[in-house]
Amino acid sequence: MAHHPHAFLPGASKRLEALSDGVFAIACTLLVLEIKIPHFSQGLTMAQQWEIIKEAETLPSIVAFIFSFLNILIFWTNHDAINKVLVRFDTKTTYLNIVFLLFISLIPFTTAFLRENLSSFIANASYGLVLMLASVAAVMMYHHLAFRAKLFLPEVTMTSRKRVYIQVLSGPILFMIAIAAGVISTYISIAIYAITPISFMFLPQLDFDTKEEEKIKEQHQ
Amino acid sequence: MAHHPHAFLPGASKRLEALSDGVFAIACTLLVLEIKIPHFSQGLTMAQQWEIIKEAETLPSIVAFIFSFLNILIFWTNHDAINKVLVRFDTKTTYLNIVFLLFISLIPFTTAFLRENLSSFIANASYGLVLMLASVAAVMMYHHLAFRAKLFLPEVTMTSRKRVYIQVLSGPILFMIAIAAGVISTYISIAIYAITPISFMFLPQLDFDTKEEEKIKEQHQ
Amino acid sequence: MAHHPHAFLPGASKRLEALSDGVFAIACTLLVLEIKIPHFSQGLTMAQQWEIIKEAETLPSIVAFIFSFLNILIFWTNHDAINKVLVRFDTKTTYLNIVFLLFISLIPFTTAFLRENLSSFIANASYGLVLMLASVAAVMMYHHLAFRAKLFLPEVTMTSRKRVYIQVLSGPILFMIAIAAGVISTYISIAIYAITPISFMFLPQLDFDTKEEEKIKEQHQ
Amino acid sequence: MAHHPHAFLPGASKRLEALSDGVFAIACTLLVLEIKIPHFSQGLTMAQQWEIIKEAETLPSIVAFIFSFLNILIFWTNHDAINKVLVRFDTKTTYLNIVFLLFISLIPFTTAFLRENLSSFIANASYGLVLMLASVAAVMMYHHLAFRAKLFLPEVTMTSRKRVYIQVLSGPILFMIAIAAGVISTYISIAIYAITPISFMFLPQLDFDTKEEEKIKEQHQ
């Protein structure tokens, strides 16, 4: 019955969305458990307290929390943007989405691993690898939905599907560069991991055109 | 296509709501992991058991749990009240909301940090700072939604938008006062953090008027 | 505007439901983190492994997991049953619901506390107290919704509202008895905490009648 | 009132779905907390770092994370597939679903237990037992919904209900075999636990036919 996997209920992607939102929310909130809590004994001066905070590496763990939190939610933003133009998920996308969520769930681990070992190439490459694999799963999902299974709303133009595909493809490439840059210096990788989600917020979001909008655009050119 | 970022699906804010509800629910429930569990050896009298509970600082950690839980869910209440009059989220609000959630997610950390170091100005100021930053993000979101992007339901009057804006603005100011009060005594700050959510429950909620309701009000004055 | 707190959107309780479901799901799933994981060194016989499991108190912690899990989800079942006949939540119920969730969130702590100190009256009473306070919050919510604020669907008969009220009231009374029984033996309390949710599954659920159903019932008597 | 337990709201299963999705999402994401984070001291070579990763058993704990994550979400996939053809849940299915979720919630514990003791029969059997019990609860739910309570959409044919029943029944049988295989070698059990969810992704999903679809099928034979 491959031609109508979810024939019974049209709103079939609602629960996959709910599951995904749950995993995104938990993965980004669990990160807080990795922040190290400094303990001051009684009667310390404020300078001594800062010294303890420094030794406990609380600040780097907060910074790691922030950029992992943002990386996870940028993935969420894209997941959401693509879902908006979907008719439904099919079985293949369901499984690709599960694999995608698997990598999202691993981010709290790679964050803790990186924060513990900022100058280790292995820790840096692990962090980048998980982000890269999540991006690859996202690319595969997008490709299947937009070009193979024709599960996008039919009014979404092919031009805008292709334009967004290039944006989506930039993810794995960027993280591959970040991993490679770690050979030179792990601090370049870390900078890429930290700057990516913030810069993303100032770039145009994934955005699709309907056929009518495309016509208007063409007339204005 | 800046003028219609989510043109395809009108109920576009449903998933941002779901993500936000998830983060709120997890942040407030994770707090329980920070409560210290006392262990009694066999054959202790009840008085000795209370002594162990006191040494383990279980009661302060329960109190910290309670007021952080309530602080988080008061934020949720306001988030919900504003959402009720929204047509949809735009890209800018999505990102502001992500930043807002980032600060909400940090509350389990600042709670543990404060509880470990009740008399430390740094721990107290951290706790207040995160609440203040969450409030600032909320103010920015509100301002954008109500006055800039015109994303509120059109029937919500400008008078009630402005009245609620003043209520929303009181958040960051209150937490700034709490931080400053910590210079005199950290116990004043703690009192503010603890009393705020409880007193909020007895204050009028964020509430908007439709144009018709406003007319009726004016006639009654 | 006290008479129409959520005038703008009729489906106003959807997000409170989502938040509550989140807290219920997290509270019951977090319990698993409290189960003690035994570690066997290489080359132990199966009998020696069972010895380690016994010493690690893995089995009692699994039993504690199971009955706390069920207690939490029985609360959820009742929460759900009452929600089904609601028109909407008002501000007062929102806050009562938040306080109710606060006690639900505390259950993972009291579970760990009880399991660590099975024979301690304090630990047993804490466990019962949190369940009792959650029940009291539920009773207050129910009373407000069904009799004061008239937020139930109008077709729900007064007779069935009162019948369910007595069922709801049995919660705090039961947990009060469990706490008191701990004075005689903590194992009686534990037995009540463990048997309650299981026996509940075989009792009739909270159930409301419409006026028409009531008429049919009366004719059959 | 046994004949109409949820008479008031037809969409009565929405919240049970939400609760289930929450438990699934949390159970699979919590698994990440069990992965062991290696810490490298300054100045180690990459070979020495790999040595520490090996000693910390990080890789086996990642593998355990992956197959438990997939096992949980394969259960989710089936839960979702069956829900799609449901009219609603009744009281009995609600309780069976709660018991089912209880076993799903235990998977993070059995995963940690197994990973700590790869060669222990007890640890392996525990892992399989929890999966088996979850499958048994699923079988009982399916049997009740499809054959007893007639809660499936009436257009779902009896032939396809029976075909899916056999698929659902294969779960407990498979996990029973995995437990038994542990007597010969625990590595056979582990292989079954790891291969099952992956192979499942390449098998046909649970799928139901409407009466019309069945007619078309018959004509083509």
Give contacts of C22 with chain B, Cβ < 8 Å: 21-22, 24-26, 29
Residue that is written with structure tokens 């009686």 in the block: C188
CA distance D194 to D213: 35
Residue that is written with structure tokens 């407000």 in the block: C144
Q: For chain A, say whether D5 makes contact (Cβ under 8 Å).
A: no
Residue B1 has pLDDT above 70, yes or no: no
Q: Please name the residues between 71 and 90 in chain C that touch chain D, using a CB distance below 8 Å.
A: 73, 76-77, 80, 83-85
Q: What is the pLDDT of residue B7?
A: 42
Average pLDDT, 10 consecutive residues per value, chain A (221 residues)? 39 80 95 91 90 91 94 92 85 92 96 92 96 95 89 88 91 94 94 90 79 78 64
Taking an 8 Å cut-off on Cβ atoms, the answer to whether C26 and B24 are in contact is no
Q: What is the pLDDT of residue C203?
A: 77
Highest mean pLDDT among A202-216, B185-199, C73-87, C95-109: C95-109
Residue that is written with structure tokens 């979101």 in the block: B141
Residue B6 has pLDDT above 70, yes or no: no
Give contacts of D27 with chain C, Cβ < 8 Å: 29, 32
Q: What is the pLDDT of residue D91?
A: 87
Q: How far is A29 from chain B (nearest CA, A)?
A: 6
Nearest CA in chain A to D68: A102
Taking an 8 Å cut-off on Cβ atoms, the answer to whether B105 and A32 are in contact is yes
Could you tell me which residues come within 8 angstroms of residue B13 by beta carbon, excluding any fewer than 6 positions away? Answer: B83, B86, B88, B89
Residue C90 has pLDDT above 90, yes or no: no
Side chain identity, residue D37: I
Give alpha helix (H) positions in chain A: 14-30, 46-55, 58-83, 91-116, 121-143, 158-184, 186-200, 211-220
Q: What is the pLDDT of residue D220?
A: 73
Taking an 8 Å cut-off on Cβ atoms, the answer to whether C117 and B83 are in contact is no
Provide the 10 A C-beta neighbour count for residue A65: 24
Read off the pLDDT band of C221 (50, 70, 90). Answer: low
H/E segment holding residue B163: helix B158-184
Taking an 8 Å cut-off on Cβ atoms, the answer to whether A101 and D76 are in contact is no
CA distance C105 to C130: 10
CB contact burial B140-176 (16+ within 10 A = b; e otherwise): bbbbbbbeebebbeeebbeebbeebeebbbebbebbb
CB A111 within 8 A of CB A68: yes
Which one, of A152, A26, A130, A134, lies nearest residue A75 by Cα? A134
Tokens representing D57 are 């058993």
CB A71 within 8 A of CB A131: yes
CB contact burial D45-55 (16+ within 10 A = b; e otherwise): eeeebeebbee
Taking an 8 Å cut-off on Cβ atoms, the answer to whether C22 and D23 are in contact is no
Q: What is the pLDDT of residue C1?
A: 32
Which one, of C61, C204, C206, C215, lies nearest residue C145 by Cα? C206
Closest CB from C26, C53, C69 relative to D26: C26
Distances A83 to A79, A171, D188, D201 between C-alpha atoms, Å: 6, 18, 40, 22
Give contacts of C18 with chain B, Cβ < 8 Å: 17-18, 21
Taking an 8 Å cut-off on Cβ atoms, the answer to whether C80 and D18 are in contact is no
- Region C36-51: mean pLDDT is 91
CA distance C21 to C28: 11
Q: What is the pLDDT of residues C60-71, one digit of tens each?
A: 899 999 999 999
pTM: 0.91
Q: What is the pLDDT of residue D155?
A: 87
Write down which chains contact chain B via at least 3 CB pairs under 8 A: A, C
Closest CB from D25, D85, D209 relative to A19: D25
Per-residue pLDDT tens, chain D, 221 aa: give them. 333 333 444 445 688 999 999 999 999 999 999 898 999 988 899 999 999 999 888 998 999 999 999 999 999 999 988 888 888 888 889 999 999 999 999 999 999 999 999 899 999 999 999 999 999 999 999 999 999 888 888 888 999 899 999 999 999 999 999 999 999 999 999 999 999 898 888 877 777 888 877 788 777 76
Size of interface A-B (CB pairs under 8 A): 98
